[in-house]
């Protein structure tokens, strides 16, 4: 049963799942900047969860909520089992990756190549929906290789929606599975926002979230006139302070926009707790390097953290020292 339109508000603003970037430390930091943004894990493959250190892969701090688990895979029962693991662990959403164009992902038969198999994706969604009572969503592209007509996109969305997917996060670029690297696939295929807008018009009952090339909250606000939600990727990571505007501008929050130093004051106790548990400081401070992007002293801030956080004896006091440079 499809959700009512007003239920798509949780996806109004999202931070994209990004490999090697949106780990639990990054997400904790982002949550201090925005209470309402929807956060996503890095992609976790079903095989890694079923055969690896699943507790380490699933672990998150409750303060990160609402946080979604993104899965990669193509076997319905394996994905259903992993979705149940994620739901039992406390995630607010399970998202299936049908957008990553890397060779490694394609070899494993998941990611963007699955756009050529809508029946399989539908079977995966059906199995996952039967296994959990939290939203199951799909992150996809507008097409792949020569399969990039609007008719083919509509067929894909239609089949997967019939299987029970109510929310689609659509990267407004096609993916070339041959000849382009993942980085090039984020930059070279042209953006086609109009196609995503058209999807929303043609599937008004679905939640459509737009992704790709969006760099600030003002652009996000403009897209929201056409679709239900917006997802930012690299911009949110490289210039994280833009997240501080989100609650007021996009969710109508009356909470004052937090100042950078206020955010750091809240973050330092977390850094200390994690350091006490053996987490290297550099694994956490790498996510805050862009906090002062565009501000006087930003280069000195980055340099101080980069030069000192990697040392074995490094402690969170290094962050306090770095603040004195800005």
* Burial call 291-303: b when 16+ CB within 10 Å, e when fewer: bbeeeeebeebbe
Q: Packing angle between helix 150-162 and helix 193-202, nearest 10 degrees?
A: 50
Instruction: Find out whether 315 and 321 touch, Cβ atoms under 8 Å.
Output: no
State the catalytic residue, choosing from 26, 82, 100, 124. Answer: 100
List the alpha helices (DSSP H) in the chain: 24-33, 46-51, 54-58, 76-89, 103-107, 118-131, 150-162, 182-185, 193-202, 217-223, 234-238, 246-251, 260-276, 281-285, 298-308, 317-323
**Is 82 annotated in the active site?**
no
> Where does residue 95 rank: exposed (0-12), middle (13-18), buried (19+ CB within 10 A)?
buried
Distances (CA, A) of 240 to 43, 83, 173, 207, 295: 20, 29, 24, 26, 13
Question: Residues with Cβ < 8 Å from 82, sequence gap 6 or more?
Answer: 44, 46, 49, 50, 71, 73
Report yes or no: 231 and 15 within 8 Å, Cβ to Cβ: yes
CA distance 280 to 75: 36
Nearest to 121 by CA among 172, 95, 69, 156: 156
Tell which residue, 73, 74, 87, 68, has the closest CA to residue 129: 87
Active site amino acids: 100
């Amino acid at each position: 049963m499809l959700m009512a339109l007003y239920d798509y508000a949780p996806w109004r603003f999202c931070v994209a799942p990004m490999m090697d970037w949106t780990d639990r430390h990054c997400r904790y930091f982002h949550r201090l900047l925005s209470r309402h943004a929807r956060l996503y894990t890095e992609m976790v493959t079903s095989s890694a969860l079923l055969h690896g250190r699943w507790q380490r892969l699933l672990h998150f701090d409750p303060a990160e909520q609402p946080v979604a688990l993104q899965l990669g895979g193509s076997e319905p029962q394996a994905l259903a089992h992993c979705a149940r693991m994620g739901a039992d662990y406390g995630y607010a959403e399970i998202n299936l990756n049908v957008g990553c164009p890397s060779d490694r992902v394609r070899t494993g038969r998941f990611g963007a190549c699955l756009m050529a198999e809508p029946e399989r994706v539908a079977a995966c969604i059906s199995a996952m929906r039967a296994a959990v009572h939290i939203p199951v969503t799909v992150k996809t592209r507008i097409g792949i290789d020569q399969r990039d007509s609007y008719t083919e996109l509509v067929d894909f969305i239609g089949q997967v929606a019939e299987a029970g997917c109510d929310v689609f996060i659509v990267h407004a670029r096609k993916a070339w599975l041959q000849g382009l690297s993942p980085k090039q696939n984020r930059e070279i295929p042209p953006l086609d926002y109009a196609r995503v807008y058209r999807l929303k018009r043609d599937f008004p009952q679905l939640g459509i979230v737009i992704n790709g090339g969006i760099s600030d909250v003002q652009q996000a606000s403009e897209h929201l006139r056409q679709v239900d939600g917006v997802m930012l990727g690299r911009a949110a990571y490289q210039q994280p302070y833009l997240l501080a505007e989100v609650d007021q501008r996009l969710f109508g929050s009356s909470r004052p926009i937090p100042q950078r130093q206020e955010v750091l004051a809240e973050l330092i106790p977390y850094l200390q707790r994690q350091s006490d548990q053996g987490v290297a400081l550099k694994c956490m401070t790498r996510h805050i390097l862009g906090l002062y992007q565009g501000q006087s002293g930003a280069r000195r801030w980055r340099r101080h953290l980069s030069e000192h956080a990697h040392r074995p004896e490094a402690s969170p006091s290094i962050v306090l020292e770095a603040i004195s440079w800005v």
